[in-house]
């Protein structure tokens, strides 16, 4: 079993108003991942997820694709040690 890690992602493009947060939550629910997704006031979507690296990379690939109707233009990722603060994956209030 791999050690848990944290992935902090900023997604740019047409990612608000297209069901992006719900898509990310659904993708995460299929994996043993905890954390959250939210809209940011500058038009981006922010994702903070924790789990095993391989599972996070699966989620990252889904985030890079996005749901139909979205258009992801840039994805910035920061990897960190897991904080262990979340027990599930949810949609957080917008920033």
The catalytic residues are: 21, 39
Q: Phi and psi of 2, rounded to 5°? A: -80, 160
Dihedrals phi, psi of 47, to nearest 5 degrees: -125, 130
Sign of CA dihedral 62, 66, 72, 76: negative
How many residues would you count in the chain? 95
Q: What is the DSSP-derived secondary structure letter of residue 88?
A: S
């Amino acid at each position: 079993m791999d050690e848990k890690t944290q992935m902090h992602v900023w997604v740019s493009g047409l990612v608000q108003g297209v069901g992006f947060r719900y898509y990310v939550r659904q993708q995460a629910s299929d994996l043993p991942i905890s954390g959250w997704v939210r809209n940011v006031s500058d038009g981006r979507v922010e994702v903070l997820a924790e789990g095993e690296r391989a599972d996070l990379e699966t989620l990252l690939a889904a985030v890079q694709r996005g749901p139909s109707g979205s258009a992801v233009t840039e994805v910035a990722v920061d990897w960190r040690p897991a904080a262990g603060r979340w027990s599930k994956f949810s949609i957080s209030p917008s920033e």
